[in-house]
Amino acid sequence: MPENQRRVYPPAGDGEVTQASSENGVIRRRDFIRTGASGLAGAALAAAGCNRVSENQNARPLGNLRSATPAELQGLVGDGRRRRILLRGGVVLTLDARLGDFEKADILIDGKTIAEIAPNISTSDAEIVDCSGTIVMPGFVTTHHHMYETLQRSMIPDGLLQGAWPQESYNSVVQNIWTAGRIADPQNQSSFVWDLGRSPYDPEDCYISELVACLSEISEGITTGVDTSQSSHTPEHTDAMIKGLMDSGRRMVYAYTGGIDRSAQGIPYEFPGAMNDTSKGIGRIAKTYFSSKDQLVTLGFGGGPGVAAPGSDYTGWQLARAFGGSLHNHNVGGAAVVINAAADPRNGSDWSDVTFIHCTRWQDQPIAQISYGSHGYPKENRSKAWEIWRDRGAHVSIANLIEMQMRHGMPPFQEALDHGILPSLSPDVDTNMTTDPFSLMRGAFCLQRALANDLAFPESNPGGLPVPQLLTSRQVIEMATIAGAASTRLLDKIGTLVPGKEADIIVLDARSINTWPINNVPGTIVTMLNPRHVRDVLIAGKVVFWKGKLVGWNVDALLGQIEQARDRVLARINGPAKAGSLPAGNNSMTNPYRPNFLGSCCEKGQNTSAPAYVLRP
């Protein structure tokens, strides 16, 4: 058909929600969600079975979470082998140094790959999408997100990382009550003042949390993420989480991590697995789900550089590498872990497959302020751990908003930059903060510049430190794209827009009352835009978000399912326990337990030494 007769998709209007079939080889859907009432009534019913992991024979299909595909969008979401799409006339930010960027250009997509990027591409067999008034760029890549916690959104927005119950913290609320289903006795950590005898989560609760998290981030322009799940309580929980990722149609790394080991109670537990064993743990899921690198969801591993399991003679890193997994480890104030890992020859010297998350407080000695090089106050800024990280080619994931909010330590942007490392960005936990990539970029941009700019004033720079270079908008965008792709070992496929790479592309609507006219493209992205400006999203050449709406998903049904999951988990927490009863918290509601809905979740008991603020407007 001649080009001028091809369908041209307008840049505005009320597009229908459409269906997108998965192209990453997912297995047939299991029946996860149980028959039962919804809302609070359903939650009360769920409590009756709170001491049993859900059984497949009691399951039913998820229901109508999908919606039909209008015929007019088949060319954008249909058979990838025949799909050709031309994104026409947008500002194109390729982020590739050799190809460069374009004030106005077209992108031709053939199947799942980028075929050509140039002004005025001529084609007679492509679906044409009008991108005038938009910025077309690589999809964002984040590198650390505990996605099973989606049903706990904003559970502890005022909370800190650590703090024992009755203080409400991430540790006591999210990890102990809502994930583990138990609270340790403060006088004896091996016994419990309250224990459900199981995790409050059933596999279907993990599934819907993972699915909604993926679809939410697609709507924000995050085409690739890393699920550091920490909820593999049973093999069934693990399978449910992987299925949630695969069913979403999003590009993901599933970083297999442990859950709550209750094998002593007869509940099956398989993490981490073992070398040369495909019957359990990482070996089982590698064989079952991750037989190909050419699929949207790939394998990662959360095991560390120490021994993989008690009695083993190999490290967690060796175990992951044996099954082809990338490595994703948390490290908060653990410089010694890095130093010890480097001293163990079993971990090798090429750490390009390793990402450490947070990387806070790695300096060799206490420092209040730092600049570039070894400039620090009141002592020199030196870090053996950062030198090892630089020299061995490892990656860094900074969850800057969470680290500032939850007292992990100062996000280490300056340390990473000083050691020649471009860090990636990550949202970490919905329990405390949004996953919005524009907030992540703005947070990184403003924090590094605030700390550096403060050194320009003698009143706030007693050590006379020199002012380091300031981050640019472009560099922050590269953190959210290129650095993330490198961390996930996917830079050969995504992260920049180059012919031959897979078409993970976002179209940002910049022609709006609060952003137009564009005078600087990187600055517009970092300092002006928000998720409302994400118009279209393509993953592997397929449109998954179209004119501001998810493609193929019944959003109301999804919201209903995750609300029901939250209610089920809460009902189990309030249900019969194996031992003790849930003691009252400092801020939450009691009898039955419920997080504080209208007041502060965590303020009381958090700081008992400083005076409360007495404020006037």
**CATH code for the domain in which residue 124 is found:** 2.30.40.10
Asked whether residue 3 carries a pLDDT value surpassing 80, the answer given is no
To 5 degrees, how large is the angle CA 456–CA 449–CA 447? 130
Helix (H, G, I), strand (E, B) or coil at 491: coil
Q: Are 542 and 505 in the same domain? A: yes
Contact residues for 533 (Cβ-Cβ < 8 A; gap 6+)? 508, 509, 510, 512, 515
In a domain, 443, yes or no: no
DSSP state for residue 145 in the 8-state scheme: B
| Residue (of 270, 269, 287) closest to 278 by Cα position | 287
Cα maximum dimension of the chain = 78
E strand or H helix at 300, and its extent? strand 297-301
Among 177, 57, 298, 267, CA closest to 588: 177
Q: Are strands 188-195 and 579-580 parallel, antiparallel or unpaired?
A: antiparallel
At residue 468 the predicted structure's pLDDT band, cuts being 50, 70 and 90, is: very high
What's the token pair of residue 559?
């919201």
197 and 129 in a single domain? The answer is no
Beta strands of 391-457 (E only): which ranges?
395-398, 424-425
Whether 174 maps to a domain, the answer reads yes
Name the β-bridge partners of 88: 130
Is residue 317 scored above 90 in pLDDT?
A: yes
Q: Give the pLDDT score at 62.
A: 55
Give the pLDDT score at 107.
Answer: 99
* Same domain, residue pair 98 and 167: no
* Residue 365: closest CA among 356, 353, 374, 354: 374
- 15 pLDDT higher than 90: no
Residue 310 phi, psi (nearest 5): -55, 130
What pLDDT is stored for residue 331 in this prediction? Answer: 98
The pLDDT value recorded for residue 69 is: 74
Tokens of 367: 């420092």
DSSP assignment string, 148-208 = GGGGGTTSSTT--S---TTS--IIIIIIIIIII-EEEETTEEEEEEEE-SS-S--HHHHHH
Q: What is the pLDDT of residue 49?
A: 34
The pLDDT of residue 20 is above 60: no
Residue 43 has pLDDT above 80, yes or no: no
Instruction: Please report whether residue 584 resides in a domain.
Output: yes
Report the amino acid identity of residue 80: G
Three-state DSSP state, 312: coil
Q: Is residue 186 part of a domain?
A: yes
Tell me what the mean pLDDT of segment 66-85 comes to.
Answer: 80
Does one domain contain both 116 and 70? yes
Residue 301, classified by CB atoms within 10 Å of its CB into exposed (0-12), middle (13-18) or buried (19+), is buried
Which pLDDT value is given to residue 12?
38
CA distance 464 to 456: 9
Phi, psi angle pair for 263, to nearest 5°: -65, -25
Is pLDDT of 133 > 50? yes
Position 366, amino acid: P
State the burial class of residue 119 (Cβ atoms within 10 Å of its Cβ: 0-12, 13-18, 19+). Answer: exposed
Q: What is the mean pLDDT of the chain?
A: 91
Pair 158, 256 in one domain? yes
Instruction: For residues 211 and 169, state if they share a domain.
Output: yes
Nearest to 221 by CA among 145, 140, 107: 140
Residue 7 lies in a domain: no
- With tokens 């224990």, the residue in question is 195
| Domain housing 201 | 140-219+226-244+251-260+559-600
Under 8 Å between Cβ of 299 and 253: yes
Please give the DSSP secondary-structure letter assigned to residue 5.
Answer: G
Classify 480 as helix, strand or coil: helix
Give CA–CA dist 513/386, Å, rounded: 44
Q: How many other CB atoms sit within 10 Å of the CB of residue 472? A: 14
**In the block, which residue shows the tokens 């970083």?**
255
Exposure string (b/e) for 153-164, b if CB count within 10 Å is 16 or more? bebbebbbbebe
Spatial contact of 148 and 201, defined as CB atoms under 8 Å apart: yes
Cα–Cα distance, 314 to 309 (Å, whole number): 8
| Residues 183 and 154 reside in one and the same domain | yes
Average pLDDT over every residue of 403-416: 98
pLDDT tens-place string over residues 332-346: 999 999 999 999 999
Same domain, 157 and 255: yes
User: Is residue 172 domain-shared with residue 240, that is, in the same domain?
Assistant: yes
CB-based contact 552:77 (threshold 8 Å): yes
Average pLDDT rounded to a whole number, residues 71-100:
89
Question: Which of 42-51, 99-108, 310-319 is predicted with the least confidence, judged by mean pLDDT?
Answer: 42-51
Residue 138 near residue 506 (C-beta atoms within 8 A): yes
Which of 504, 509, 522, 471 is CA-nearest to residue 496? Answer: 504
Cα separation of 550 and 546, whole Å? 6
Confidence tier at 7 by pLDDT (50, 70, 90): low
505 domain-assigned? yes
Pairing of strands 113-118, 424-425: unpaired
Q: Do 176 and 146 lie in a common domain?
A: yes
Total domains, the chain: 2
The DSSP code for 482 is I
Do the domain assignments include residue 72?
A: yes
User: Average pLDDT in the 513-526 region?
Assistant: 98
Q: Kindly tell me if the per-residue pLDDT of 50 is higher than 60.
A: no
Q: What pLDDT shows up at residue 6? A: 52
User: Nearest 5 degrees, angle CA 374-CA 376-CA 378?
Assistant: 140
Judge whether residue 386 has pLDDT over 50.
yes
C-alpha–C-alpha distance, residues 107 and 505, integer Å: 10
> Residue 44: is its pLDDT beyond 50?
no
Q: Residue 36's pLDDT is what?
A: 32
On whether the CB atoms of residues 272 and 319 are closer than 8 A, the answer is yes
Q: Can you name the residues that pair with 194 across neighbouring β-strands?
A: 183, 580
Rg of the chain over all Cα atoms, to the nearest angstrom: 25
One domain for residues 144 and 198 = yes
- Shared domain for 231 and 148, answered yes or no, is yes
Packing angle, helices 203-219 and 555-573, rounded to 10: 140
Q: Comparing C-alpha atoms, which of 47, 310, 332 is closest to residue 202?
A: 47
**Rounded-to-integer distance, Cα 405 and Cα 400, Å:** 8
- Helix or strand (DSSP H, E) at 246: helix 235-248
DSSP H helices, 465-520, are 473-478, 484-487
Range 494-504 average pLDDT: 99
H or E element in which residue 564 lies: helix 555-573
Confidence (pTM): 0.90
The per-residue pLDDT for range 205-249, each reduced to its tens digit, is 999 999 999 999 999 999 999 999 899 999 999 999 999 999 999
pLDDT at 470: 99
Does residue 568 lie in a domain region?
A: yes
Higher pLDDT, 413 or 57: 413
pLDDT of residue 222: 99
The pLDDT, as a whole number, for residue 276 is 98
Give the whole-angstrom CA distance, residue 422 versus residue 471. 11
Quick check: helix, strand or coil at residue 281?
helix
